[in-house]
Amino acid sequence: MQLATQFAHAGLQTDPQTGAISTPIYQTATFAHPAIGQSTGFDYSRSANPTRLALEQAIARAEGGSAAFAFASGLAALSTLFSLFSQGDHLIVSEGCYGGTYRLLDQIFARFGISVTYVPVYEAGAYAAAITPQTKAILIESVSNPCLQVPDFAALLALKQQHDLLLLVDNTFLTPYWFRPLEQGADVVIHSASKFIAGHNDTIAGLLAVREPELAARVGYLQNAIGATLGAQDAWLTMRGMKTLALRLAAQQANALAIAQFLQQQTGVRYVLFPGLPSDSQHQKIQQFSSGFGAVLSFAVTDTALVEQIISRLQLISYAESLGGVESLITVPEIQTHANLSVAERERLGVSDTLLRLSVGIEALDDLLADLAQALA
Ligand SMILES: *Cc1c(COP(=O)(O)O)cnc(C)c1O
């Protein structure tokens, strides 16, 4: 079955009693037991909830995992995932990862004795060089933020196998519609479902999909033990969003490509970063593992005054954090998503004060182009 069909049917027929097409929202904390020693399969909603389970099964299927787990946010999913590791363990993480991931590792898990080496996203040799006897896992993002660089996924898969490491892939930017890392041999996929999967800028949610049943059982244990689970209402909203994922992504990607090409021709724009552009340095590499390019692009303008002008003049495109939703959003990574990095670190990662990141929505292309044109004029 094709993915568009799978997405549209997420959670279909989970209620045989009524035949409800849309999964009911089981807004209940607990479940009555038929008798002593018996269970309906649901005991308490932290441990399992039918609405959340429908979402978890839909994402497990989409990612090709043996199981999936839903959390209160992407960072709740990552916190649970990092709890697989113990004092003394070492992780290798790609640079340019989500700011909250850095913060979680450097400010919280570091206190528990879990150390991290950050390496350039695309330099496969740097991952190999960072491996120590304590290394347990490599964490990458399918596309880095905000400079939209992609890893050499095949080389990292080989490295993972050679050294018996877990390969963890934050697939928020590409979603299973374009990239299914588990099918290619990765161990865990992470999503901030707040972004493309829920897709309407109306829900905060996180997901983990796991390839092997044994690891899935450990993650499932942690999900219940830590308890940062997704509520039934938000599980329903996430699943509702997921139903239109294929349509949205096709429209968003087409808009993003047209906008990237438009921006390339503007005199106030120094360069555009979008892996979908044939001229982009990442264009060939991303196609080795992904069938799509995403709908987030970044562009650098000639000076900071122009950054202010664009932000203040844009009417249709909102100046707001986050990405992946149907509404287009623009951010200034230097002062928003990447503000907690040092100046030197930002410089090294290419996060300058003239860089803007645009998450492209499903609005009519002409309206988006007109808004950008008047803002740049
Ligand atoms: C937003 C984001 C996260 C964090 O997810 P939340 O749902 O905001 O907690 C993690 N990784 C990436 C790539 C993100 O974009």
Ligand 1 centroid, distance to 76 Cα (angstroms):
10
Q: Mean pLDDT throughout 165-173?
A: 98
What is the second-level CATH architecture of the domain 245-376? Alpha-Beta Complex (3.90)
Q: What pLDDT does 17 receive?
A: 87
Q: Relative to the CA of 205, which ligand 1 atom is closest?
A: 7
3-state secondary structure of 290: coil
CATH fold for the domain made of 3-242:
Aspartate Aminotransferase; domain 2 (3.40.640)
Render pLDDT for 263-313 as a digit per residue (tens, 0 to 9).
999 999 999 999 999 999 999 999 999 999 999 999 999 999 999 999 999
Q: Which residue's CA is the nearest one to ligand 1's atom 4?
A: 74
261 vs 336, more confident: 261
- Share above pLDDT 90 across residues of the chain, in percent, rounded to a whole number: 89
Ligand 1 centroid, distance to 204 Cα (angstroms):
9
C-alpha 332/C-alpha 375 separation (Å) is 15
The letter for the amino acid at 371 is D
Per the CB < 8 A criterion, the answer to whether 140 and 149 are in contact is no
Q: Which residue's CA is the nearest one to ligand 1's atom 12?
A: 98
Single pTM value for the model: 0.96
CA angle 352, 354, 358 (to 5 degrees): 100
- 115 DSSP β-pair partners: 90
Q: Which of 82, 97, 98 to mutate to test the pocket of ligand 1 (most atoms within 8 A of CB)?
A: 98
Q: What is the DSSP annotation of 166-222? A: EEEEE-TTTHHHH--GGGGT-SEEEEETTTTTT-SS----EEEEESSHHHHHHHHHH
Render pLDDT for 213-246 as a digit per residue (tens, 0 to 9).
999 999 999 999 999 999 999 999 999 999 999 9
Q: Which residue's CA is the nearest one to ligand 1's atom 5?
A: 74
Pocket (CB within 6 angstroms of ligand 1): 73-75, 98, 100-101, 141, 170, 172, 192, 194-195, 204, 206
Per the CB < 8 A criterion, the answer to whether 376 and 307 are in contact is no
Alpha helices in the chain (DSSP H): 3-8, 50-63, 74-82, 99-103, 124-130, 153-163, 175-178, 213-226, 232-242, 245-264, 283-286, 304-313, 343-349, 365-376
Render pLDDT for 109-163 as a digit per residue (tens, 0 to 9).
999 999 999 999 989 899 999 999 999 999 999 999 899 999 999 999 999 999 9
Q: Which residue's CA is the nearest one to ligand 1's atom 7?
A: 74
Q: Relative to the CA of 97, which ligand 1 atom is closest?
A: 13
Ligand 1 centroid, distance to 73 Cα (angstroms):
8
Q: Which of 94, 121, 194, 203 to mutate to test the pocket of ligand 1 (most atoms within 8 A of CB)?
A: 194
Ligand 1 centroid, distance to 98 Cα (angstroms):
7
Residues with a catalytic annotation lie at 46, 98, 170, 195
Domain ranges of the chain: 3-242, 245-376
Per the CB < 8 A criterion, the answer to whether 356 and 330 are in contact is yes
Ligand 1 centroid, distance to 21 Cα (angstroms):
30
Q: What is the DSSP annotation of 95-112? A: TT--HHHHHIIIIIGGGG
Q: What pLDDT does 12 receive?
A: 81
Q: Mean pLDDT throughout 46-61?
A: 97
Most confident of 11-15, 145-149, 235-239, 343-347: 235-239
Residue 331 pLDDT class (50, 70, 90 cuts)? very high
Q: CATH topology of 3-242 equal to that of 245-376? A: no
Q: What pLDDT does 294 receive?
A: 97
Render pLDDT for 56-93 as a digit per residue (tens, 0 to 9).
999 999 999 999 999 999 999 999 999 999 999 999 99
Ligand 1 centroid, distance to 225 Cα (angstroms):
22
User: Cα 34 from chain centroid?
Assistant: 40
Which structure tokens are listed for 39?
A: 């269970």
Element containing residue 71 per DSSP (H, E): strand 67-71
Q: Which of 73, 75, 357 to mutate to test the pocket of ligand 1 (most atoms within 8 A of CB)?
A: 75
Burial label for 123, CB within 10 Å (0-12, 13-18, 19+), is middle
Render pLDDT for 172-198 as a digit per residue (tens, 0 to 9).
999 999 999 999 999 999 999 999 999
Q: Mean pLDDT throughout 314-322?
A: 96
Which structure tokens are listed for 314?
A: 């844009």
